[in-house]
Amino acid sequence: MQLRAVDHVVITVTDMEATVAFYERLGMRRETFGADRTALRFGSQKLNLHRAGAEVEPHARYPTPGSTDLCLLVHGRLEQVLDELATAGVPVELGPVERTGATGPIRSLYLRDPDGNLVELSEAR
């Protein structure tokens, strides 16, 4: 077996609309699919959203809002991202800081979504 890529990740959320609004400010777009399911699409990936207490089967053994850490690569420079986040009223918790990504050095900002999930926005170095 040879794995190729990540297709999607599932996030368990308490407030679907607040979560969608937050990630839309980051440039994702809402997608409805299946039996009234919600996802957030960006590039060729997506985040599927499960409402806490009404998760879609099968799901993680202990689906918990606020337990996800995501690292998302951005186009452009983090300085531009900082300006856009400030304009959108999204607070930055940490950064920019130097980190190591999947393919090498990255520079990152950290923020939290409405459930407290850690969202790392990174620029490849």
Catalytic positions:
120
Please give the structure tokens belonging to residue 48.
């599927």
CB–CB of 82/72 below 8 Å?
no
Contact call for residues 39 and 46 (beta carbons, < 8 A): yes
Q: State the burial class of residue 12 (Cβ atoms within 10 Å of its Cβ: 0-12, 13-18, 19+).
A: buried
Question: DSSP states of 14-66 as a string?
Answer: S-HHHHHHHHHHTT-EEEEETTTEEEEEETTEEEEEEETTSPPSS--SS--TT
